[in-house]
Amino acid sequence: MGKVGITLSTVDPAAVNMFKVFKMRGFKETSESVFVRGDAVLVPVPRFIVPEEEYKTPAEPNPYPLDYDTLASELGVDYFIVASRHAAKSGQPCFTVHATGNFGKAIFGGKQRELQFVPPNPLRNVYLALLKNPPTGYTVSLEATHHSPTQFEVPMFFAEVGSSEAQWADFSACEYLVNAILEGVLSKETAPVAIGFGGGHYCPKFSVMERGYAFGHIAAKYAFPMLTDEIIEQMVAKTSGGVEKAYIESGVKGSDKRMLEKVLGRLGVESEIA
């Protein structure tokens, strides 16, 4: 894919550090709130990008600080990366990348039972760059599809540093994430596109498999009660570039495996136990 848009929130403490690094890496302001370096366009946003963080009970449809589709059209952008902080009770220092979407209720913004388009190979290329030499103590993993945005046509994914204030304030960690994003978007490497079912939220098996496959949407085991034919169809249709195979984690119970194989077969997607 070609031209990339990068957005970040200037009220996100990690993104504040990342914004400084992007400017250090040669992004120059060409118009109000638009910074450019080559085929990459950076758009800082003075509000939270995930609406739930700003609006505790957002109305439907949820408010967004950007219309990503209009912005993509105006800037000629093929996909977006949201550079963000990651929060988890564990406080584990980590870097994560993930697709967005709601398998069920829209607890963290977006629309319920709606998934966002995701570009699997650009996501993989950023992930591979993150794996190269992460700071001591930091892990790198995929996350299962979760939270908003959900309703835009332009593909996007999140690249994050976490999981607590200590890591958000760690300038070297934020710098590492920015460098990985910039390295990833320059890569032309591609891999077979896949979607995944099963496992935990941090996708231990699929994170290893990501070295050879480009995963788009992933439904962790906890999302299975919310899976329907329509949602599975969205996982396929909204993983950009065409899904070549679906992987079902070996720990998935037999009845769920059979359901998935039936629906995927109807959609013309080959499935395999991972």
Give 138's contacts (C-beta < 8 A, 6+ positions apart). 93, 94, 95, 167, 173, 176
- Residue 177 has a pLDDT of 98
Q: How far apart are CA 133 and CA 236, in angstroms?
A: 32
User: Which tokens sit at 67?
Assistant: 């219309």
Can you spell out the DSSP letters for 215-262?
Answer: EEEEE-GGGGGG--HHHHHHHHHTBTT---EEEE-TTS-HHHHHHHHH
204 contacts: CB under 8 Å, gap ≥ 6: 141
Q: How much is the pLDDT for 64?
A: 64
| Beta strands 28-31; 94-98: pairing state | unpaired
On whether the CB atoms of residues 125 and 187 are closer than 8 A, the answer is yes
Domain spans of the chain?
4-186, 193-273
Instruction: Give residue 63's pLDDT.
Output: 55
pTM here is 0.94
User: Which residue, 241, 198, 203, is CA-closest to 221?
Assistant: 198
Per-residue confidence (pLDDT) for residue 54, from 0 to 100: 43
Report how far residue 99's alpha carbon sits from residue 163's, in angstroms, rounded to the nearest whole number: 18
Q: What is the pLDDT of residue 89?
A: 81
Q: Beta strand pairing status for 94-98 and 156-163?
A: antiparallel
**pLDDT string in tens for the chain (274-residue length):** 579 999 999 999 999 999 999 999 999 999 888 999 999 999 999 888 776 544 444 454 445 667 899 999 999 999 999 999 987 888 899 999 999 999 998 877 788 899 999 999 999 999 999 999 999 999 999 999 999 899 899 999 999 999 899 999 999 999 999 999 999 999 999 999 999 999 999 999 999 999 999 999 999 999 999 999 999 999 999 999 999 999 999 999 999 999 999 999 999 999 999 9
| Second CATH level (architecture) for the domain 4-186 | 3-Layer(aba) Sandwich (3.40)
Residue 151 is classified by DSSP as S
For domain 193-273, the CATH superfamily is AF0625-like (3.40.50.10700)
Element (H, E) at 72: helix 68-75
Residue linked to tokens 């190269």:
132
Predicted pLDDT of residue 134: 97
